């Protein structure tokens, strides 16, 4: 079932309540593709947005002349440039091998540290349980989404998880009220990105290593955004799943 077949809500007020946001993605360009407009709107409302890329996308190419370390450096530079266009305050690269992200203690510890350091009102990440596209969603997307949600609840909240961060790094526990999930088969909230769509595409175009035809990409993104927004009478939109923590 497509997003246009689902009943979804529209809630601009949720953007206005966010003062700090953390975006956790699997690969460079995941943000621009799926929540770039939402991030632009958050920044325009005065929110401080931090970005975490768990991998550097070091296997994402058909160019056999590029070694993984070369590709990783290239894609980090592209992500840094795109983040600058989006107004992102800081970008962190965790440099897990592309395609090999595991939801284990090491990754969760890294994410808990960043949550406790940035103290976000919302975290944006991948939907791990109802990932889109069904059955063929990238394994890194699923692993990153699950690790991020696990890091938020209960790990970052409770002092007995990663206590060394508190005693040795002076990081205090943090409760994040909610997460917004991208690439979800079950979105329940859409964001009107009509006013910032061109800037979203411009940021996505910074990922030149992942482009074949910019005009085709812009057309595909416009068609997708129009499909998402149509049920609510919105010209162009992004779809998210909201998860609230008790």
Identify the residue with better confidence: 14 or 175. Answer: 175
CATH placement of domain 3-244: 3.40.50.10320
- Asked if residues 124 and 180 have their Cβ atoms less than 8 Å apart, the reply is yes
Residue 189 three-state SS: strand
Residue 4: pLDDT over 90: no
Write the pLDDT tens digit of every residue in 9-29: 665 678 999 999 999 999 999
User: What is the pLDDT of the chain when averaged over all its residues?
Assistant: 95
pLDDT confidence band for 189 (50 / 70 / 90): very high
**pLDDT value at 3 more than 50:** no
pLDDT at 231 over 60: yes
- Residue 215 confidence (pLDDT): 96
Contact 39, 88 (CB under 8 A): yes
H or E stretch at 50: strand 48-55
Q: How far apart are CA 131 and CA 121, in angstroms?
A: 23
- Judged against a pLDDT cut of 70, whether residue 2 lies above it is answered with no
Our measurement of the distance from residue 153's CA atom to the centroid of its chain's CA atoms, rounded to an integer in Å, reads: 18
Q: For residue 1, is pLDDT > 80?
A: no
User: How many CA atoms lie less than 13 Å away from 139 in the CB half-sphere?
Assistant: 7
Query: What average pLDDT score do residues 178-202 get?
Result: 97
**pLDDT tens digits for range 213-227:** 999 999 999 999 999
pLDDT in tens, 35-44: 999 999 999 9
Is the pLDDT assigned to residue 5 strictly greater than 50? no
Q: What whole-number distance in Å separates Cα of residue 48 and Cα of residue 122?
A: 11
pLDDT digits (tens, 9 = 90+) for 73-89: 999 999 999 999 999 99
What is the pLDDT at residue 92?
A: 98
Structural domain boundaries in the chain: 3-244
Helix axes 139-150, 105-118, angle to 10 degrees: 60
pLDDT single digits (tens) 106-123? 999 999 999 999 999 999
């Amino acid at each position: 079932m497509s997003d246009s077949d689902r009943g979804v809500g529209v809630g601009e007020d949720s953007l206005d309540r966010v003062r700090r946001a953390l975006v956790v993605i699997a690969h460079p360009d995941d943000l621009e593709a799926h929540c770039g407009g939402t991030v632009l709107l958050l920044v325009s409302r005065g929110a401080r947005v931090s970005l975490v890329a768990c991998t550097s996308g070091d296997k994402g190419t058909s160019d056999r002349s590029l070694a993984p370390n070369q590709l990783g450096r290239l894609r980090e530079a592209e992500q840094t440039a795109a983040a600058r266009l989006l107004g992102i305050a800081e970008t962190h690269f965790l440099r897990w091998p592309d395609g090999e992200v595991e939801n284990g203690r090491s990754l969760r510890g890294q994410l808990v540290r960043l949550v406790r350091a940035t103290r976000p009102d919302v975290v944006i990440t991948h939907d791990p349980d109802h990932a889109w596209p069904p059955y063929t969603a990238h394994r890194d997307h699923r692993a990153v989404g699950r690790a991020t949600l696990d890091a938020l609840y209960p790990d970052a909240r409770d002092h007995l998880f990663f206590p060394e961060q508190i005693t040795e790094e002076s990081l205090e526990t943090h409760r994040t009220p909610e997460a917004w999930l991208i690439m979800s088969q079950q979105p329940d909230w859409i964001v009107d990105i009509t006013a910032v769509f061109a800037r979203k595409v411009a940021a996505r175009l910074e990922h030149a290593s992942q482009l074949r035809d910019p005009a085709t990409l812009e057309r595909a993104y416009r068609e997708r955004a129009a499909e998402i927004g149509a049920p609510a009478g919105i010209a162009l939109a992004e779809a998210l799943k909201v998860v609230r923590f008790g």
